[in-house]
Amino acid sequence: MVVAGFCSFLQMYSTQPLLPMLTGIFHASKIAVSMTVTLAGLGVAIAAPIAGILADKIGRKRIIVWSAVLLGITSLAAATSPGLGMLLFWRFCQGLCTPGVFSVTVAYINDEWASAGAGAVLSSYVSGTVLGGFSCRFIAGLVAAHFGWRWVFIVLGVLTLGGAGAIARLLEPERHAHHASQWEGSWYSAVKSHLGNRRLLGTYLVGFCVLFSLVAIFTYVTFYLAAPPFNLEPTALGSIFFVYLVGAAANPAAGRAIDRYGQRMVLTCGIGAGVAGIALTLIHSLWMVGLGLTICSSGVFAATTAANNFVGAAAEHNRSLAVGLYAAFYYVGGGLGAAIPGYFWNLGGWPACVAFIACVQIVTVMIALTFWRGPVRAGVMIPT
């Protein structure tokens, strides 16, 4: 489970520390190179609702293993890209492959440990996703600084293929046959019902905004730190993602706070911390930028946990579809979070991006306070 979680996000955000380098290599704008993040996120959004359906039909272990293999192959293919256009194509393909690992693994855990122990196993899996998300950025910055951007995809591709082999060897086949649940009505009517549910629609919009903010911050802060007065190289840019580990370590406290104070309170406090943290990055001190990013990521992770948890309370039927739709909104938000702030960067640089992202975070709180009503029930975990 840890290896599956690691492979899930070993590719997803690998280009974030490379963006300043790619603008020079491809003679492209910041918005253009940020599409390497956007298209990966959109690929995930498209494939997330479909991956579970395929797994129900042909087996979960099979989908997990082959999705990891395809992730490794597409990474190696990305290394051969002659230009930005082909790199964008392969990044989109990587996004399409990713849900076959992360979403199907969550379903596998819930089925195989349904009687007991699912929480502990899921915790191990999430630890793997955090490690993978951090490693992809750190390895990318380190390798690119010494060997160039193509070797980033070669190294990550080899690691992913190795992980796929480990999953194939270590992961036991399903012991409990899973039968696809019957729709209550047509697929279209189920989707329409979910989107007509005010609490569920509000949760989708919150998830969209939360990942939008997180990806926007860590995409455009690389341009900020690569420019004067910081002038950071790719290795140092990759190292800023150590703040992710701090946020991940602090995040269990958010789960306990949800049980005690509710999702709305935790999301409001988390977003408040996010706004304060991103404001600190405006101070031209690397230490203050690091502190601001640490506070910001911890706050946004807490908000993410609150949004994930509320899906279970909001879904009245066809819960698997509800989760799939949430993942789609969530990753569309992440994909657009890598692109739209580029227009604000062109208007006023990092301060304009900070102002825009802070406005998005405030809107997130307003949506939650307006739409999040009703009882709390166990939720799901959508990795970042």
Q: Which tens digits make up the pLDDT trace of 98-152? A: 988 877 887 787 677 766 665 567 667 767 887 888 899 899 999 999 999 999 9
Distance CA(197)–CA(318), nearest Å, equals 13
Residue 376's pLDDT band (boundaries 50, 70, 90)? very low
For the stretch 42-91, pLDDT in tens is 998 888 878 877 777 788 889 899 999 999 999 999 999 999 999 999 99
Measure the CA–CA gap between 216 and 278, rounded to whole angstroms: 11
Q: 247, 298 in Cβ contact below 8 A?
A: yes
Does position 383 have pLDDT exceeding 90, yes or no?
A: no
More confident residue, 153 or 176: 153
129 contacts 7 by C-beta, under 8 angstroms: no
Domains 1-174 and 189-378 share a fold: yes
Residue pair 37/215 in contact (Cβ under 8 Å)? The answer is yes
Mean pLDDT, residues 246-265? 78
Q: Which of 181-195, 339-353, 358-372 comes out lowest in average pLDDT?
A: 181-195
Structurally, what CATH architecture does the domain formed by 1-174 represent? Up-down Bundle (1.20)
Report the distance separating Cα 173 and Cα 59, nearest Å. Answer: 8
Is 341 buried (19+), middle (13-18) or exposed (0-12) by CB count in 10 A? buried
Q: Pull the structure tokens for residue 165.
A: 């082999």
Contact 357, 213 (CB under 8 A): yes
Q: What average pLDDT does this structure show over 274-293?
A: 95
Q: State the virtual CA torsion across 150, 153, 157, 160 in degrees, nearest 10.
A: 160
State the average pLDDT over residues 169-187.
65
- Band (pLDDT 50/70/90 cuts) for residue 184 is very low
| Pairwise CA distance, residues 168 & 55, whole Å | 15
State mean pLDDT over 295-322.
74
Give the start-to-end residue ranges of the domains of the chain. 1-174, 189-378
What is the dihedral angle through the alpha carbons of 251, 256, 261, 265, rounded to the nearest 10 degrees? Answer: 10
The yes-or-no verdict on residue 189 having pLDDT over 50 is: yes
3-state class of 179 per DSSP?
coil
Enter the pTM of the model.
0.82
What is the number of H-type helices and E-type strands within the chain? 17, 0
For the segment 262-286, the average pLDDT, to the nearest whole number, is 92
What gap in Å lies between CA 377 and CA 370, rounded to an integer? Answer: 19
Distance separating alpha carbons of residues 303 and 267, to the nearest angstrom: 4
Pick the CATH number of 189-378 from 3.30.470.20, 1.20.1440.230, 3.90.79.10, 1.20.1250.20: 1.20.1250.20
CA-based nearest residue to 277, from 243, 317, 249: 243
How far is Cα 146 from Cα 380, in angstroms, rounded to an integer? Answer: 40
